């Protein structure tokens, strides 16, 4: 079901499109972007000018010119240096702000979008992959925007500006520079290509290794129990060796570029010194010209090295940006409902629009009808095959059947986590497709087997059911759920802060909390996925009592694992393979001597 894309793409498929979309985000901070660009351009130009001033200054000294001339040039230099620093500060600050705000916005967009995606999206995409896009890819993008963006601009301007100055100083030497730059560029692309290839191999090996480590560490106790240590070490060694080789090669090529480019620029330095000296002898250049030109040869090669050094990271973060945009492009959950919930005189009604523009008010009662419902998570694989059933307001319907029979699926359709393929589901006589999802779900509560709690206090977690619940209401709900007693005994009571996902509570306590959470929501329809394991009998008793109290006066759908809890249901549906094979109350089903009877007998005695 889950996509196996462990080896992430490190190469963007369409860099141009991604870049344009990324730059699109700058429109929210246009002034910042413009100020930043302008400042960076100004500071770069100033730094080129400062280097150029070396020429007249040194010449003035060499030619033993008047001190006033020297001082004039020096003053200009000082002014330029100060301007350069100020603009550099402004430029970097604006660009950093721009980057932070952009990433902040992207992060917010991604999160908001996540909240809007349908449940089936999360079923079909591995959480690990999504998490990695939400964290690592965003982080990479952040770094690239922060560092590389201004660097690229600086580099471009530096190269252009320096070229102009060089031509002014000496066209002949500029030709030497161009020749050398061609050599430098081709070594960059030669090394770069190998580096990129090895970088990808390294990332692949790293992902593989991290995946393996994650899996083995999570199962380390199983490893111990099965004496699997030696085999694990052997598997690990193979991956480790591959990673070592890949990393060594990737990094050799990556790091190699620095000395190559650095020293090639010294070759250029040598050529310029030599050529410059010869030109001075021919009186076509001055010593000051050489000084400035030498300074330029240093500044022109640095941006090339730096940009080429970051190329791999840049591409990787662009590929990450593509994954980010891919998530943002996922179609959100559809909601074309026009029936809303309104409150009148403390009673709730469905407001159904009529063709003539008026509204009909239908009281909210909790009446559910399934007629011929067909559904499959994956096209072609039907999980529910023509399910028809009804629940009158206040009734308790229990679903019984083995794992995979479709019990959970039925309840997931009522709150429209998934769209049915055929048939219809009516809520108080209204097709649920025409009810606004928000209003539909606000009348339903689920108590799941696998309790998910949020970071925060116990009270926060109960209040999750209804945000405006008062402290008294929270305590009231906890009492109803039989959770009050254990909460009271915690060191900070309702203010006790839960760890991530409430790991500091026992399974049973977590379930009590989730009942309290549903109680505070005061739903019309309640869906219970009964807990099965890891709860001791006393807690179990508390839980089932809590659930009983919660069910009073509400339409309840129970996914039952224990026959003791289905006995008093108004109707029991025995599901098998997506079909209801038996239905009726306990007495009726026991008389039928069918599957339900067998199940019941099996609990008492084997054979």
Task: Please list the alpha-helical segments (H only) found in 219-286.
Answer: 220-225, 229-281
Question: Quick check: 238 binds other proteins (CB under 8 A)?
Answer: no
387 phi, psi to nearest 5 deg? -85, 130
- Contact assessment for residue 542 and residue 482, using Cβ atoms and an 8 Å cutoff: yes
Site string for other proteins, 192-211 (x = CB under 8 A): --------------x--xxx
Q: Decide whether 330 or 360 has the Cβ nearer to other proteins.
A: 330
Task: Please list the alpha-helical segments (H only) found in 282-419.
Answer: 287-328, 407-414
Q: Is residue 489 exposed (0-12), middle (13-18) or buried (19+ Cβ within 10 Å)?
A: exposed
Q: Decide whether 68 or 225 has the Cβ nearer to other proteins.
A: 225
Q: Decide whether 70 or 430 has the Cβ nearer to other proteins.
A: 70
Q: Pick the binder of other proteins from 15, 143, 204, 240 (CB under 8 A).
A: 240
CB of 436 to other proteins, least distance (A): 10
Kindly state the number of chain residues that form the binding site for other proteins, as judged by CB under 8 A.
160
Restricted to residues 548-577, the positions that interact with other proteins (CB under 8 A) are: 561-565, 567-568
Considering only 22-30, 247-255, 337-345, 381-389, which stretch makes contact with other proteins by CB under 8 A?
Answer: 247-255
User: The tokens 């040194």 sit on which residue?
Assistant: 58
Q: Pick the binder of other proteins from 353, 404, 429, 553 (CB under 8 A).
A: 404
Question: Quick check: 231 binds other proteins (CB under 8 A)?
Answer: yes
Restricted to residues 248-307, the positions that interact with other proteins (CB under 8 A) are: 248-249, 251-252, 255-256, 258-260, 262-264, 266-267, 269-271, 273-274, 277-278, 280-281, 287-288, 290-291, 294-295, 298
Q: What is the DSSP letter of 7?
A: S
CB of 217 to other proteins, least distance (A): 5
Q: Decide whether 139 or 471 has the Cβ nearer to other proteins.
A: 139
Site string for other proteins, 175-194 (x = CB under 8 A): --------------------
Question: Quick check: 119 binds other proteins (CB under 8 A)?
Answer: yes
CA–chain centroid gap for 137, Å, is 8
Question: Quick check: 83 binds other proteins (CB under 8 A)?
Answer: no
Q: Decide whether 80 or 314 has the Cβ nearer to other proteins.
A: 80
Considering only 26-34, 53-61, 354-362, 367-375, which stretch makes contact with other proteins by CB under 8 A?
Answer: 53-61
Q: Decide whether 360 or 568 has the Cβ nearer to other proteins.
A: 568
Considering only 26-34, 59-67, 338-346, 476-484, which stretch makes contact with other proteins by CB under 8 A?
Answer: 59-67
477 phi, psi to nearest 5 deg? -65, -40
Ramachandran class of 565: left when φ > 0, alpha when ψ lies in -120 to 50, beta otherwise: alpha
Question: Quick check: 164 binds other proteins (CB under 8 A)?
Answer: no
CB of 321 to other proteins, least distance (A): 17
Gap between the terminal Cα atoms of the chain: 38
Restricted to residues 324-343, the positions that interact with other proteins (CB under 8 A) are: none
User: The tokens 């690592």 sit on which residue?
Assistant: 136
Q: Pick the binder of other proteins from 190, 226, 390, 485 (CB under 8 A).
A: 226
Q: Pick the binder of other proteins from 7, 17, 244, 344 (CB under 8 A).
A: 244
CB of 129 to other proteins, least distance (A): 10
Give the β-pairing of 444-447 and 525-529: parallel
Nearest to 106 by CA among 427, 354, 324: 324
Q: What is the DSSP letter of 378?
A: B
Question: Quick check: 589 binds other proteins (CB under 8 A)?
Answer: no
- Contact assessment for residue 158 and residue 299, using Cβ atoms and an 8 Å cutoff: yes
Question: Quick check: 241 binds other proteins (CB under 8 A)?
Answer: yes
Longest dimension (CA), the chain: 120
- Burial string for 456-466 (b: 16+ CB within 10 Å, else e) reads ebbbbbbbbbb
At residue 369, the 3 state secondary structure works out as strand
* Bridge partners, 369 (sequence order): 390, 426
d(CA 327, CA 550) in angstroms, rounded, equals: 39
Q: Pick the binder of other proteins from 18, 247, 317, 482 (CB under 8 A).
A: 247
Both tokens of residue 102? 């952009």
Site string for other proteins, 509-528 (x = CB under 8 A): --------x---x-------
Q: Pick the binder of other proteins from 313, 351, 442, 592 (CB under 8 A).
A: 442
Question: Quick check: 533 binds other proteins (CB under 8 A)?
Answer: yes
Question: Quick check: 26 binds other proteins (CB under 8 A)?
Answer: no
Find all residues with CB under 8 Å of 118, minimum gap 6, and list them. Answer: 332, 333, 334, 417, 418
Considering only 131-139, 312-320, 344-352, 572-580, which stretch makes contact with other proteins by CB under 8 A?
Answer: 131-139
Q: How many CB atoms lie within 10 A of CB 545?
A: 14
Question: Quick check: 86 binds other proteins (CB under 8 A)?
Answer: yes
Question: Quick check: 402 binds other proteins (CB under 8 A)?
Answer: yes
CB of 354 to other proteins, least distance (A): 26
At residue 450, the 3 state secondary structure works out as coil
Both tokens of residue 87? 């603009």
User: The tokens 């070490």 sit on which residue?
Assistant: 233
CB of 223 to other proteins, least distance (A): 7
Both tokens of residue 589? 């089903």
Q: Pick the binder of other proteins from 69, 93, 159, 490 (CB under 8 A).
A: 93
Q: Pick the binder of other proteins from 29, 44, 92, 195 (CB under 8 A).
A: 92
Nearest to 402 by CA among 213, 579, 171: 579
Please, what sign has the CA dihedral across residues 220, 221, 224, 225?
A: negative
At residue 63, the 3 state secondary structure works out as coil
């Amino acid at each position: 079901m889950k996509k196996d894309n462990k080896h992430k793409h490190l190469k963007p498929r369409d860099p141009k499109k991604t870049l344009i979309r990324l730059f699109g985000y700058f429109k929210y901070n246009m002034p910042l972007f413009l100020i930043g660009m302008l400042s960076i351009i100004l500071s770069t130009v100033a730094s080129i000018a400062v280097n150029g001033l070396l020429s007249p200054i040194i010449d003035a000294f060499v030619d033993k010119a008047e001190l006033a001339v020297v001082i004039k040039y020096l003053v200009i230099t000082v002014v330029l240096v100060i301007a350069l620093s100020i603009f550099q500060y402004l430029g970097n600050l604006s660009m950093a702000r721009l980057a932070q705000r952009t990433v902040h916005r992207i992060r917010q967009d991604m999160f908001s979008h996540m909240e809007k995606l349908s449940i089936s999206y999360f079923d079909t995409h591995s959480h690990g992959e999504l998490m990695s896009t939400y964290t690592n890819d965003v982080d990479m993008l952040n770094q690239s925007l922060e560092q590389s963006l201004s660097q690229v601009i600086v580099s471009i301007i530096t190269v252009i500006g320096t070229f102009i100055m060089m031509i002014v100083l000496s066209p002949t030497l500029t030709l030497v520079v161009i020749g050398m730059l061609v050599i430098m560029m081709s070594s960059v692309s030669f090394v770069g290509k190998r580096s990129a290839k090895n970088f990808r191999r390294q990332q692949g090996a790293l992902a593989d290794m991290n995946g393996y480590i994650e899996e083995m560490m999570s199962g380390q106790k199983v490893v111990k129990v099965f004496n699997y240590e030696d085999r694990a070490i052997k598997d690990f060694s193979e991956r480790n060796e591959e990673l070592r080789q890949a990393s060594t090669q990737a990094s050799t090529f990556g790091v190699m570029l620095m000395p190559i480019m650095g020293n090639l620029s010294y070759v250029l330095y040598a050529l310029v010194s030599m050529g410059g000296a010869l030109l001075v002898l021919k009186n076509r250049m001055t010593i000051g010209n050489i000084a400035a030109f030498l300074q330029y040869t240093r500044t022109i090669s640095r941006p090339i090295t730096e940009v080429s050094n970051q190329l791999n990271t840049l591409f990787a973060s662009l590929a990450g940006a593509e994954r980010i945009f891919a998530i943002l492009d996922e179609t959100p959950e559809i909601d074309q409902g026009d029936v809303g919930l309104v409150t009148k005189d403390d009673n709730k009604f469905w407001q159904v629009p009529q063709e003539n523009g008026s509204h009909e008010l239908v009281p909210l009662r909790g009446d559910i009808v399934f007629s011929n419902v067909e559904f499959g998570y994956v096209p072609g694989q039907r999980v529910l095959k023509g399910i028809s059933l009804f629940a009158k307001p206040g009734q308790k319907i229990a679903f019984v059947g083995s794992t995979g029979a479709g019990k959970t699926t039925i309840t997931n359709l009522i709150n429209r986590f998934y769209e049915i393929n055929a048939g219809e589901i009516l809520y108080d006589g209204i097709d649920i497709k025409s009810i606004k999802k928000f209003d539909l779900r606000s009348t339903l509560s689920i108590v799941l087997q696998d309790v998910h709690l949020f970071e925060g206090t116990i009270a926060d977690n109960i209040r999750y059911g209804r945000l405006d619940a008062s402290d008294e209401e929270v305590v009231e709900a906890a009492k109803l759920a039989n959770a009050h007693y254990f909460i009271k005994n915690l060191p900070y009571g309702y203010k006790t802060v839960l760890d991530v996902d409430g790991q500091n509570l026992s399974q049973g306590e977590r379930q009590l909390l989730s009942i309290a959470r549903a109680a505070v929501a005061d739903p019309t329809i309640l869906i219970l996925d009964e807990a099965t394991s890891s709860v001791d009998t006393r807690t179990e008793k508390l839980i089932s009592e809590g659930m009983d109290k919660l069910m009073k006066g509400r339409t309840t759908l129970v996914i039952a694992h224990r026959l003791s809890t289905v006995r008093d249901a108004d109707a029991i549906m025995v599901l098998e393979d997506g079909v209801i094979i038996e239905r009726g109350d306990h007495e009726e089903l026991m008389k039928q001597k069918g599957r339900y009877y067998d199940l019941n007998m099996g609990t008492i005695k084997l054979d």
